[in-house]
A and B are shown apart, each in its own frame.
Chain A
Amino acid sequence: MPKLKVATKVATLVTALAMGVVPAAMAANISGAGATFPAPVYAKWAETYKAQTHNDLNYQAIGSGGGIKQINASTVDFGASDKPLKPDALAAGGLQQFPTVIGGVVPVMNLPGFQAGQIHMTGKLVSYIYQGTIKRWNDPAIQSWNKGLKLPNMPITVVHRSDGSGTSFLFTTYLSMSDPKWAAGPGGNDAVNWPVGLGGKGNDGVAAFVKQTPGSIGYVEYAYAKQNHMDYAVMMNKAGKWVSPTAANFAAAAANAKWSGAPGFYLLLLDQPGATAWPITGATFILMHKKQTDAQKGHDVLAFFDWAYKNGDAEAQGLDYVTLPLAVKNQVRKSWSTIVGPSGKPVYP
């Protein structure tokens, strides 16, 4: 088969050439992996950063758990997680953690005849729905919070996430905080033993199921709810006020939070005080080794995030993220002095 032979030879040549070419870039080459929630904004920042400084930052969204695994294995330069690691986990891995951006989780629904922002929900109500205790939309419990609305006699189809995710972590932890029965049952985690309902893959899968199933309820990240024009619920926050999921209300939850009292920046922005604070808010975090084996690499990573803090706000907000308050950013910068190189000196500045 002479033609096959020629084709094989050509292919081998191409591959050999490809492998032989060494990247000539003298610029920095940083790799990171982890949470899917901030992936779009990290990608955006990396693009602009490369245009301005010619440094490559390659971030890949493989999930928070994957990010934690990879940074522990040191196969990447930094990891990213939607779920903050507790201080003892940080100490065990020799890791340092800091937040970058903030987002919110929004309960969405598909109720024919009703629009976004009409239905009122509390955390406990959502918990009962997700446990299957409340089965129909016109249940007296739901009706009591929605006086003046004639809710239909439809069965509630519960939609949750099939994959583990930081979004689920925030949602289920909030349910645990709102309802002791949920805390004793499934609990708060990025994947739980869901009592009822079907699982969609990713925020996209949940959004699709909710949009296609009348009478369904689900939860998605704010960007998905906004981009897909989904009907969201209005929720009661800690201050007892009804709030809508908007960027301003996520920022309110972050602004009132006590970051300075949180070692390792371990802080869940759930059920935060404040009249306009959205109850299901959360930050996303970066993980780095406290002791860097390559001081230059460590420097490059922190240089990127410093740049992002200074210049990345507009782009983040354009993608429906909420940026950290300046005070928190400065706190983070101060904490970077504990990231040291092989010689023991801080890698940044």
Chain B
Amino acid sequence: MSTAVNATPTARRTTPRGFALEPVFEGLCFAAATALLAALGGVLVSLAIGGWPALSRFGLSFVTGVTWDPNPDHETYGAAGPIVGTLITSAAALIMALPVAGGVAFFLVELCPTILRRPIGTAVELLAGIPSIVYGMWGLFVFAPFFATHVETPLMTWAPPGSIWETLFSGIPNGSGMLAASIILAIMILPFMAATLRELLNTVPTQVRESAYGLGATTAEVVLKVTLPYIRRGAIGAVMLGLGRALGETMAVTFIIGNSHAFPKGLFDSGSTIASTIANEFNEAGPLQSSALIALGLVLFVITFTVLALARLLLRSQVRA
């Protein structure tokens, strides 16, 4: 029964030329990857060169000091405020955005009626397309007054004096501050994580999901116990995308965070982040201040390194072959 294989060969005969180009292609890919490495290396080197004057002058106190004084008569730069602000806002934004992104991705893949799938998916991705300065302006002019009247003032009035709640909810009730900035940041990083998670969920083979359903698992169990572990490695990548955006975001944060270099004492208190400090002050900075800001950028890279390294350690301890 030779019906399957006909006179015309089904597979195109690969000429030797195909194999000869193999190393060329691999070389191109390798070159691209290395080019990125070189670019990053270049960035780090130029940061190190630019930041050296400030780092050599202030040493460790650059990272631990709290005073940030740009007046040339008595300049001193201690970046503890922005560093803490960056860590807190990014962590808070990630904690708020990750469940939402996951929920949106799961909804789109498992629960959404097919007709609505594309419009809702595109709508969520549209959030990524809004310029970050619009987030900043919307945050300041629309969100802040709402947040002030409906969240901050009630919470601050309710908090019993002398309790831990009073300290937690301390600050200026005008809609600016650490929590407000974290919320805006969360909305910003949400679409990146949601879109990536959705793509990853779409790559799970149908047999895997169907076999789980066939065993009588509920939707929740299929998602949480079968598909999520399947894409675990890529999911970390999605989280990295979101975290990366959160750590480096400038415009959206700087309008609403209050920009005070001191330690924030409460959720509604003003703070600052590394990216917003650099963006705010770089244009007007004198030589030592420029160097301090570039050194601050270097610190942000170190923070990113550390966070990512920790994430990888976490991943390695859990991943199977």
Residues of A within 8 A of B (CB): 62-66, 157, 162-165, 186-194, 197-201, 205, 208-209, 212-213, 216
Contacts and interface: CB of A to CB of B under 8 A. Distances in A.
A66 B284 CA distance: 6
B174 A212 contact: yes
A196 to B, nearest CB: 8
Contacts of A201: 136, 254-255, 259, 280
Contacts of A186: 69, 71
Per DSSP, are chain A's interface residues mostly helix, strand or loop, or mixed?
loop
A164 B260 contact: no
Contact of A212 (B73, B136, B148): B148
B121 interface: no
B240 interface: no
8 contacts: A66-B284, A164-B285, A189-B73, A191-B284, A197-B260, A199-B259, A201-B259, A209-B174
B260 A62 contact: no
B179 to A, nearest CB: 14
Given A164-B281, A198-B172, A189 B255 contact: no
B172 A164 contact: no
Contacts of B196: none
A199 B260 contact: yes
Contacts of A164: 70, 280-281, 283-285
Given A65-B286, A66-B283, A66-B284, A189 B71 contact: yes
Given A65-B284, A199-B258, A201-B280, A193 B67 contact: yes
Nearest to B279: A163
**Which of B141, B144, B258, B261 has the largest number of chain A CB atoms within 10 A?**
B258
Given A198-B172, A201-B254, 9 more contacts: A65-B283, A65-B286, A162-B254, A163-B281, A193-B69, A198-B270, A201-B280, A212-B175, A216-B174
B280 to A, nearest CB: 4
Contacts of A62: 283
Interface of B: 67-74, 136, 140-141, 144-145, 148, 172, 174-176, 254-255, 258-261, 270, 272, 276, 279-286, 289
A86 B38 CA distance: 41
Given A164-B280, A205-B140, A205-B255, A192 B69 contact: yes
Contacts of B74: 187
A201 B144 CA distance: 15
A205 to B, nearest CB: 6
A190 B284 contact: yes
Contact of B259 (A65, A157, A200): A200
Nearest to B171: A198
**Which of A64, A66, A188, A213 has the largest number of chain B CB atoms within 10 A?**
A213
Contacts of A63: 283-284
A198 B280 contact: no
A194 B71 CA distance: 11
A198 B176 contact: yes
Contact of A213 (B68, B172, B280): B172
Contacts of A208: 140-141
Nearest to B286: A65
A190 B74 CA distance: 14
A197 B269 CA distance: 10
Nearest to A193: B69
A213 B284 contact: no
A191 B281 contact: yes
A189 B71 CA distance: 6
A290 B172 CA distance: 50
Q: Which 8 A-B pairs have the closest CB atoms?
A: A164-B284, A63-B283, A199-B259, A162-B259, A65-B284, A193-B69, A198-B258, A213-B174
